[in-house]
Chains A and B, each alone.
Chain A
Amino acid sequence: MQESFFYWPEFRESFPDILEKFWTNVQLFLLAEVFILVWGLVLAVLRSLQGPVFFPLRLLSAAYTDVFRGIPTILLIFLLGFGVPGLQLSGVPRSQFFWATVSLVLVYSAYVAEVYRAGIESVHPSQEAAARSLGLNRLQALRYVVLPQAIRRVVPPLLNDFIGLQKDTALVALLGVVEAFRQSQIEVAGSFNYTPYVATALIFLALTIPLTRFTDWLVARERRRRR
């Protein structure tokens, strides 16, 4: 068993290639995360707008989160990653990296929107009242008073989703994008030794464990602050 999973020569040989391909994962989740954070916030803000005028926007935002939280990520990746390029539409990108990123953004923004929304709702209404009483309009009250407090509170759960996203970047291997996991598959197929998978796992862990610890530390600090 040791030979099959922890074979040092195999590890040494495959590791540099996998690490190099891991760069693709890093690019993918960094790029996706930026869009997720922005789009998720837009969705959450739309959903928190009050008054009958905004009912359609609230409804759309709610429907979006319902749909994209309900679809298995892998299904969406297949649907967009194979389906859209297959249509051969002009002006529509065919890059599978592109569609993989889009899929992850669509799914994760639905989760992140809910996290933001919980944050917005945790800010006491008296804060908004205080802001409005100074003459700030709704948008200003949201921008300067509600959101800064809401976002501060949800940083730990947002990081949690970010960790999930990092792992899920491996799913795009299924589209044929050669990232770390796909590279390790290739290595395994060549040697019938599973050590490259272990190497890949270690690379992922090297990134996710520190982030997990950091998140724990933030949560603990927040708890101490609020006592």
Chain B
Amino acid sequence: MSEQLRVDGVTKSFGKVQVLRGIDLALAEHEVVCLIGASGSGKSTLLRCVNLLEPVDEGRIFLGGEEITAPGVDENRARQRIGIVFQAFNLFPHMSVLDNVTLGPRKVLRLPRPEARARALELLGRFGLADRGDDYPDRLSGGQQQRVAIVRALAMRPQLLLLDEVTSALDPELVAEVLSVIRELAEGGMTMLIATHEMGFARDIASRVCFLDAGVILEQGPPGQIFTSPAEPRTRQFLDRIIAAGRL
């Protein structure tokens, strides 16, 4: 299996706070890696760095073997190959669902409108949103909005999909519909890096789980091992708190 993403010694500070303190991580093609860890451990920042939404301070990031953090790299070209879905959906409120989904393909990939539209309708149909194309985001439930956001990212046919706590802003009864979409993507072979608080989901879906603590990956391994017999005391502490909260 070829390597899809490699993160090499990445650090990132905001002001005096060092949020990432040397992250090393590699994802093979079709791999699904879940990032777990307390809020503030750096999960979101790592995803934003991978997508070049935040410039890294040190270290390098490779996408399909090609360094995307090198000076002179076309960031827009790199970004179009990496999809990201945000916690707060971030749909464009002034556009219909269809326009949200076709904006990237039309303006970045330069697809003619009918083709972009066909691609969008196909994806929307696949995720149970076939009749929602003409609606505006504020007419949709949170779960539907997040599925549209996933479709919007997929419409660019990314090599890698980043999911940043995509169910955290949802009402509990809407979480399942979004998770099932992600599960379907995993089965379809999409390479994904997922920051999540849904431990049960991570256990089911991940090929590997990384525990982030204070800006470093403290421990990683198959979900069976991380969730049942973590090696690090900090990981155990974190999981105990999650269990106490009834989330695992």
Q: Which residues of A contact B (CB under 8 A)?
A: 126-127, 129-137, 140, 144-145, 148-149, 152
Contact = CB atoms under 8 A, between A and B. Distances in A.
Interface string B41-52: 000000010010
Given A131-B92, A135-B109, A137-B76, 20 more contacts: A127-B90, A129-B53, A130-B90, A131-B103, A132-B79, A133-B82, A133-B153, A134-B79, A134-B103, A135-B77, A135-B104, A135-B108, A135-B156, A136-B103, A136-B104, A140-B107, A140-B108, A145-B92, A145-B103, A148-B94
10 contacts: A126-B88, A127-B92, A132-B76, A133-B79, A134-B108, A135-B81, A135-B104, A136-B104, A140-B108, A149-B92
For A127, A134, A136, A145, the residue with the greatest tally of chain B CB atoms inside 10 Å of its CB is: A134
Interface of B: 48, 51, 53, 76-77, 79-84, 86, 88, 90-94, 103-104, 107-109, 152-153, 156
B76 A133 contact: no
A144 B108 CA distance: 12
A152 to B, nearest CB: 7
Nearest to B155: A134
Contact of B83 (A126, A133, A148, A152): A133
Given A129-B53, A144-B103, A144-B107, A135 B94 contact: no
Contacts of B83: 133
Contact of B94 (A129, A140, A149): A149
Nearest to B79: A135
B94 A132 contact: no
A146 B12 CA distance: 27
Nearest 9 Cβ contacts at the A-B interface: A135-B80, A134-B104, A130-B90, A135-B108, A133-B84, A135-B79, A126-B90, A137-B76, A148-B94
Contacts, number: 59
Given A126-B88, A129-B53, A140-B107, A134 B80 contact: yes
A126 B149 CA distance: 13
B45 to A, nearest CB: 13
A154 B224 CA distance: 54
A51 to B, nearest CB: 11
B156 A134 contact: yes
Contacts of A134: 79-80, 103-104, 108, 152-153, 156
Given A126-B88, A144-B107, A135 B76 contact: yes
Contacts of A152: 94
Nearest to B109: A135
Contacts of B91: 130
Contacts of B94: 148-149, 152
A134 B88 CA distance: 16
A140 B80 CA distance: 13
Interface hub of A130, A140, A148 (most chain B Cβ within 10 A): A130
A130 B79 contact: no
Contacts of A148: 94
A130 B92 contact: yes
B101 to A, nearest CB: 10
A127 B94 CA distance: 11
Contacts of B51: 133
Contacts of A133: 51, 53, 79, 82-84, 153
Contacts of A127: 90, 92
A23 B92 CA distance: 42
A126 B103 contact: no
Contacts of B103: 131, 134, 136, 144-145
B104 A132 contact: no
Contacts of A140: 107-108
Contacts of A129: 48, 53, 86, 90
B77 to A, nearest CB: 7
Given A148-B94, A149-B93, A149-B94, A130 B86 contact: yes
